[in-house]
A and B are shown apart, each in its own frame.
Chain A
Amino acid sequence: MSKTKLKLSGVRKAFGSNHVLNGVDLEVESGKSLVVIGGSGTGKSVMLKCVLGLLQPDSGSIKVDGQETVGLSANDRGEVMRKFGMLFQGGALFDSMTVWENVAFGLIQGRGMARNEAQAIAIEKITAVGLSADVGNLYPAEISGGMQKRVGLARVVATAPEIIFFDEPTTGLDPIMADVINDLIVDQVNDLGATALSITHDMASARKIADYVAMIHEGQIVWHGKVGDLDHSGNEYVDQFIHGRADGPITRRAA
């Protein structure tokens, strides 16, 4: 039986009168990839930020390797953060640094590694995501959106995290580049043996990178199952979402 790496129980978060998360319950097994699907504004990003500690949930529990992370002290939170890696939707590359400095940032500043040693690892990771070593000397503004995603992925895997979060990894990319990024995600996550939690509304991406899929709607998980069961989930929310139908329970409730 697989060990639970990440467990969310009854997580709630509101911004004023806007209740974004209404009791999210979710589990991710160690070494597995879970993709959370859902429409815009359903609470996917807020859920991810609560897990990462970037937002404090109003109530509920978030456990990593069985350790409660809600309400941790700054020092303990720092230890937990070392297990995490995150690929941001827009890449979130530091524009004042070159590509290799971006990739090596977590190693140099976060782990205190020597600059030369970190540079060698950064170049290795840059080539592992299909870019030439020369790209390492460019600045993020000098490379394309697809290349920025690859650099973002190289930065994530450089610190060898145990859990990797992907926030809309294929948004804004053409279908071919999106597929390339999906392949890279699968390869890199498998190489590290990491646990992955992704949020997306790109179904092609979800089918490619997921072992399990969960659907979030109005701040609650309405379905959770294996990726192979997605097409016969028996859940009307999932059916409407994966087929992209304008008519269904999601749009009826929204109207």
Chain B
Amino acid sequence: MTVHSKATAQQKSIGPIGLALHVFNALGAAVLGFLEKTGSFSIFVGRAVAHCFMPPFFGKQLLRQLIDIGYYSLPVVGMTAIFTGMVLALQSHTGFSRFNAEGAVAGVVALSMTRELAPVLAGLMVAGRVGASIAAEIATMRVTEQIDALTTLSVNPFKYLIAPRLIAATLMMPILVLIGDIIGIFGGYVVAIYNLGFSQGSYLSQTWDILETMDVVSGLVKAGVFGFIVAMLGCYHGFNSQRGAQGVGAATTNAVVSSSIMILIFNYILTQVFFS
């Protein structure tokens, strides 16, 4: 009997119970695969966080990452914030004028920027810039055996590569978002004053009056969490990259996509925690 005819005979003899077993088998494999990935990620997060608090610390690496993640992300976060603030002023003015509520423009710009837009948009922009860069760099180091080389030179890759990136991203994101808040509100102010004819004094006083400490603090806490997510997922996908150029590409894509989705999910969760 040929291999093909054996396979056909087997298919015929499967029947409804066999088919159900096949479906459960596939389902079970998928569930086990998911649990394995979740477990592996949880262990990775645990190890990474633990190494942030255990000596030795690589200060020079941390400084480099603070500059890379914080300082070099300023232009992209600043540009995103200023145009978002400007568009927000224009759109809210157009919408609110239908209800003769143009006076709410300043408050809408301030609250939207500090609570939601600055942290979320900065998070997404940093995920694209920093998350991709972290994943690509670490994945390339994995592919070219540089991570193995670190281990053989008695340097723990979690301490040397991952901990500085995690700390830097978690610390720098709130600073970036605070600057983004100021720039975004300034963008709305410029459009409101020079385009929509608002008076400088009333716009600023409305902005100041409506803003509460919690509005700014909630955005900064979100920013810290988003920074942690971006760095952690960048490191995780880079560190567990498959071999070859394709592996590096996949690690980079997965890092950006997964961190963007996680930012949106955690944004909802944190908003619920802060404002429900």
CA of A88 to CA of B156, assembled, Å: 18
Q: Which residues 39-65 of A have a CB within 8 angstroms of B?
A: 49, 52-54
The 8 Å CB contact of B153, one of A49, A95, A105, is: A105
Q: Which residues 180-230 of A have a CB within 8 angstroms of B?
A: none
B153 adjacent to A159 (CB under 8 Å) = yes
Chain B residues with CB under 8 Å of A49's CB are: 148
Of the listed stretches A7-15, A20-28, A106-114, name the one at the interface; the rest are far from the partner chain: A106-114
B148 adjacent to A111 (CB under 8 Å) = no
A111 adjacent to B152 (CB under 8 Å) = no
Q: Which residues 28-79 of B have a CB within 8 angstroms of A?
A: 56, 58
B160 within 8 A of A: yes
A52 adjacent to B151 (CB under 8 Å) = yes
A82 adjacent to B151 (CB under 8 Å) = no
A81 adjacent to B144 (CB under 8 Å) = no
A85 adjacent to B152 (CB under 8 Å) = yes
Instruction: Give the residue name and chain of the B residue nearest to A107 (CB).
Output: B153
Chain B residues with CB under 8 Å of A93's CB are: 146, 149
Instruction: Give the residue name and chain of the A residue nearest to B64 (CB).
Output: A96
B145 adjacent to A110 (CB under 8 Å) = no
Instruction: Give the residue name and chain of the B residue nearest to A156 (CB).
Output: B152
The 8 Å CB contact of B144, one of A86, A92, A111, A165, is: A92
**B interface secondary structure, majority:** loop
Chain B residues with CB under 8 Å of A105's CB are: 153, 155
A52 adjacent to B153 (CB under 8 Å) = no
B152 adjacent to A84 (CB under 8 Å) = yes
A-B Cβ contacts below 8 A, count: 54
Minimum distance in angstroms from A49 CB to a CB of chain B: 8
A109 adjacent to B155 (CB under 8 Å) = yes
Minimum distance in angstroms from A24 CB to a CB of chain B: 20
Chain A residues with CB under 8 Å of B148's CB are: 49, 52, 54, 86, 88, 92
Q: A90-B144, A90-B145 are in contact. Are A110 and B153 (CB under 8 A)?
A: yes
CA of A111 to CA of B58, assembled, Å: 13
Q: A90-B144, A109-B58, A109-B160 are in contact. Are A82 and B149 (CB under 8 A)?
A: no
Minimum distance in angstroms from B114 CB to a CB of chain A: 37
Q: Which residues 141-192 of B have a CB within 8 angstroms of A?
A: 144-146, 148-149, 151-156, 160
The 8 Å CB contact of B149, one of A74, A94, A159, is: A94
Q: Which residues 192-240 of B have a CB within 8 angstroms of A?
A: none
Minimum distance in angstroms from A107 CB to a CB of chain B: 9
Q: C-beta contact mask, B125-149 vs A, less than 8 Å → 1, else 0?
A: 0000000000000000000111011
B152 adjacent to A82 (CB under 8 Å) = no
Minimum distance in angstroms from B61 CB to a CB of chain A: 9
B interface bracket (residues with beta carbon within 8 Å of A): 10 to 19
Q: C-beta contact mask, A154-165 vs B, less than 8 Å → 1, else 0?
A: 010001000001
Instruction: Give the residue name and chain of the A residue nearest to B141 (CB).
Output: A94
Instruction: Give the residue name and chain of the A residue nearest to B56 (CB).
Output: A112
Minimum distance in angstroms from A168 CB to a CB of chain B: 12
Minimum distance in angstroms from A210 CB to a CB of chain B: 22
Q: A90-B144, A90-B145, A109-B160 are in contact. Are A78 and B152 (CB under 8 A)?
A: no
A52 adjacent to B152 (CB under 8 Å) = yes
A78 adjacent to B154 (CB under 8 Å) = yes
B146 adjacent to A94 (CB under 8 Å) = yes
CA of A138 to CA of B177, assembled, Å: 39
CA of A88 to CA of B151, assembled, Å: 12
Chain B residues with CB under 8 Å of A89's CB are: 145
B151 adjacent to A92 (CB under 8 Å) = no
Minimum distance in angstroms from A159 CB to a CB of chain B: 7
CA of A93 to CA of B140, assembled, Å: 12
Q: A109-B58, A109-B160 are in contact. Are A82 and B154 (CB under 8 A)?
A: yes
A106 adjacent to B145 (CB under 8 Å) = no
Chain A residues with CB under 8 Å of B160's CB are: 109
The 8 Å CB contact of B154, one of A90, A92, A95, A110, is: A110
Task: Give the interface of A toward B (CB within 8 A).
Answer: 49, 52-54, 74, 78, 81-82, 84-86, 88-90, 92-95, 105-106, 109-112, 155, 159, 165
Can you report 16 residue pairs joining A to B where beta carbons are below 8 Å apart?
A52-B148, A52-B152, A53-B151, A54-B148, A78-B154, A78-B156, A86-B152, A90-B145, A92-B146, A93-B146, A93-B149, A95-B146, A109-B58, A109-B160, A110-B155, A111-B154
Task: Give the interface of B toward A (CB within 8 A).
Answer: 56, 58, 144-146, 148-149, 151-156, 160
